[in-house]
Structure formats: structure tokens, C-alpha cells
């Protein structure tokens, strides 16, 4: 009677799953990623103005998020420790 089969490690399981995913993606010519790529290539026409607008919006969102976080999570000094610069000592 043969013994129990060895359980594969995490690395082996990850390699097998990624290999299976890659084979499925390469084998599908009219669905999934290939269809999405063809749709983008046929319909997406981005100019410099759109790319610049996207960059400005990303920078504006980052600045707004930082400002809000500074206001919401402002360091207060209720115990009198430090000189208010956020560093104790």
C-alpha cells in the first residue's frame, strides 16, 4: 500500500497556480485580457490634455488628502511634553 502523497509547499502551489493562470490567458484569444486589449486599442484615444488633467487631479487629490490628515490627526500636547514640534524631549 503506497504512503500518503506529500503536500506541496507554498512556493510550489504558487508556481502551479500562476502557470495555470498564464496558460488560460494565452489560450483565450477572444475573451479576457485579449478582448480588453483590443477594445482599448480600438476605442481609447488619449491626448496630452487628458494625461495632464489626470496628473493634475492625482496631485490635487494627494495634496487635499495630506491637508485633511494633518487637520484631523493634528498632534496636540495635552501633557506639556516637548515644545509642540511632535518630538519629545
pLDDT digits (tens, 9 = 90+) for 2-56: 777 777 788 888 899 999 988 887 777 677 777 888 888 888 888 899 999 999 9
Contact 89, 82 (CB under 8 A): yes
pTM here is 0.40
Q: How many residues does the chain have?
A: 89
Q: Hey, is 7 helix, strand or coil?
A: coil
Amino acid at each position: 500500500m503506497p504512503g500518503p502523497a506529500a503536500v506541496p509547499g507554498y512556493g510550489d502551489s504558487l508556481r502551479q497556480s500562476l502557470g495555470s493562470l498564464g496558460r488560460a490567458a494565452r489560450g483565450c484569444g477572444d475573451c479576457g485580457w485579449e478582448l480588453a486589449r483590443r477594445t482599448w486599442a480600438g476605442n481609447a484615444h488619449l491626448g496630452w490634455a487628458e494625461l495632464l488633467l489626470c496628473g493634475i487631479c492625482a496631485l490635487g487629490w494627494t495634496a487635499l488628502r495630506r491637508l485633511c490628515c494633518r487637520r484631523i490627526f493634528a498632534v496636540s500636547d495635552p501633557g506639556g511634553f516637548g515644545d509642540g514640534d511632535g518630538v519629545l524631549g
